[in-house]
Structure 1
């Protein structure tokens, strides 16, 4: 379930980058340039975090059906 969320977030970030990168001006001076660099840095952090979560999440192991080993005593002492 979490892998679907990570994949969805990656797709949304890619979609936002597709529209934002042509409009961002990295070489601009002042607040516009700082905003562009900060926005791209945050987008790269989101990509890195989601890729880390997607690639390094713990794997689910299928449990094999195990036979229940009931230990029975070799000798039973009955009180009569």
Structure 2
């Protein structure tokens, strides 16, 4: 049975109908408890996004540096020039 079907079911024990004798949590307390958990999860998610963003920036910087070095090496190899000092090496 799907979760939606269980929620809409009229049988005992489904999420919409707790079994007899189950503790009942007042809606305001339930909302406060869930709100705190949602806030905690949102904070963790936000921290993970910030960390991932910083990693992406570092990876982009490292990739750019590598590409720049590679282009300089390729240029020296094809033209026989040393880009660092701007002179032809014989």
Under a length normalisation based on structure 2, what TM-score does the superposition of the two structures give? 0.35
- Larger Cα Rg: Structure 1 or Structure 2? 2
- Please state which structure has a larger fraction of its residues in helix: 2
